[in-house]
Amino acid sequence: MLDCLVVDRPRKLVGLFGEPVIFHCHHYNLFLQQTIEDPDWIDGVGILRQSAQEIFFSLLQGAFQQLEVLRESERWRLARQLFSFLGFGQLEGDISPQGGELELRHSHYAEGWLGKYGEIINRQKPIDHLAVGYAAAAFDAIYGSLGDYEAEETVCQAVTRGDHCLIRVQPVAVRRQLTPSPGMGRVIDQPAPIARAKTSVDYEALNETLWGLPLAGDDDGQIRAFNVLLTRMPANYYNRIQYRFLDALRAVNPALEAVGCDLIRESGHVCVFYTFGNIMESVEWESLVQPMIQTDTDWVHGGYAVASSLGWGRWELVEIESNQFCRVAIDGNYETNYFLATYPNSSTGACFFAQGAVPAMMNIVYRGHIAQKPVLNETLYNNLFRRGHHFQGREVRAREQGDPWCEFTATAV
């Protein structure tokens, strides 16, 4: 499956069967999902499941067409392989046009949740909303069209603390009107002439090295790297759930939208703290990035060089003042590519994840002292992002508003 990935080097994007794919870890995945499923005044679970069904249907349909897979049994085998390759676990079971019961083992969400919260919380509700949507999408793509099937998780490992989950899939009486993915979205025509701040970090060399790593699901369907559980997620799943979440909040009360935006920004904090924190404390960082680092600002450059390798687009640190300020340009951000292909316009910048990630990178380097390898736990997270002094971020340029690229600042407060 690795040989099916398409790396767009100038735009720093990665495609798989026509869909943009990006890396994120279980800390980010769990936080964003919990943000959306928790409010009981919106159908957060429905947003998660439906979005997964729509995006993965497009991915599977692209895979079947590109690889010319026609037989039902071969399509089901490929769907299982793809699920594991992306890091979501293992799906098994017998299927037919009438539906089927699937066994999910080594679930990314269930095992990630148990590892993170299992000792302190007894979960009461199923957690595998992405897998539920994926299962329905697989049946849609194998036997019919988008919206022909629905799925439900009947046994969840995060609830039972057993060794597997069960998902039941069945056809619907009337096809639901669902919306397929916009694919790669509205990408930039060509990279913009953005000047990088002085650094000894070789972004391009790191990009090539990291793109070449064989990061794929293991025999359990999990991607274990950099001390976290990774997924190579279709970027449009994240995009769709976060913007639909905001749409749902706005429909209930326009004032709630601002709260939702803050929560998505916090998902950027969570991602940088746990994903980049663990990357910066990993043996891979020590061998690949640390030899290039000569100054404290190079730690921030190293973070953005890695970010540009994850399928997120081209992230450039264009200005930095040690422990005080930075300015980051993102040329072809995955959030914007989706937004411009889906929404007519925006009165403000809509890259909410990036709005949180940029100040978080300064926080973890200068306030979290990541070079000293602190223990990355909730206590440190709260000290960095919920108490005391920290960096404040702003989006000062936005493609959604007609600018040629997106630009963000982080200022010490």
| Strand runs labelled E in 112-246 | 149-155, 165-171, 223-225, 228-234
pLDDT value at position 386? Answer: 80
Q: What is the pLDDT of residues 75-112, one digit of tens each?
A: 999 999 999 999 999 999 999 999 999 999 999 999 99
Could you give the C-alpha distances from 206 to 53, 287, 304, in angstroms and in order? 34, 11, 10
Q: Which domains does the chain have, with CATH numbers?
A: 2-171 (3.30.1380.20)
Secondary structure (DSSP) of 70-91: -SHHHHHHHHHHHHHHTTS-EE
Confidence of residue 389 (pLDDT cuts 50, 70, 90): low
Q: Does the model's pTM come out above 0.75?
A: yes
pLDDT value at position 344? Answer: 81
> Phi-psi bin for 99: left (phi > 0), alpha (psi -120 to 50), beta?
left
* Average pLDDT rounded to a whole number, residues 203-220: 97
Q: Is residue 257 pLDDT above 90, yes or no?
A: yes
β-sheet bridge partners, residue 391: 412
CA 137 – CA 145 distance, rounded (Å): 9
CA 210 – CA 363 distance, rounded (Å): 24
User: What's the gap between Cα 386 and its chain centre?
Assistant: 23
Confidence of residue 346 (pLDDT cuts 50, 70, 90): confident
Backbone angles phi, psi at 306, to 5 degrees: -65, -45
**CB atoms closer than 10 angstroms to residue 5:** 16
Q: Is residue 336 pLDDT above 70, yes or no?
A: yes
Q: What is the pLDDT of residues 270-311, one digit of tens each?
A: 999 999 999 999 999 999 999 999 999 999 999 999 999 999
Average pLDDT score, the chain: 96
pLDDT value at position 29? Answer: 97
User: Which of the residue ranges 23-27, 364-368, 387-391 would you say has the lowest mean pLDDT?
Assistant: 387-391
Q: Is residue 22 pLDDT above 70, yes or no?
A: yes
CA 279 – CA 406 distance, rounded (Å): 25
Could you give the C-alpha distances from 52 to 107, 252, 331, in angstroms and in order? 15, 23, 27
Q: What is the pLDDT of residues 126-185, one digit of tens each?
A: 999 999 999 999 999 999 999 999 999 999 999 999 999 999 999 999 999 999 999 999
CA 239 – CA 23 distance, rounded (Å): 14
β-sheet bridge partners, residue 397: 407
pLDDT value at position 388? Answer: 63
CA 208 – CA 300 distance, rounded (Å): 19
Q: Is residue 227 pLDDT above 90, yes or no?
A: no
Q: Is residue 387 pLDDT above 80, yes or no?
A: no
Own/partner contacts of 199-204, CB < 8 Å, gap of 24 or more, are 199/297, 199/298, 199/301, 199/317, 200/292, 200/293, 200/294, 200/295, 200/298, 201/289, 201/292, 201/293, 201/298, 201/301, 201/302, 201/305, 202/292, 202/305, 203/301, 203/304, 203/305, 203/308
Task: Please name which of 122, 76, 119, 118 lies closest in space to residue 96, comparing C-alpha atoms.
Answer: 76
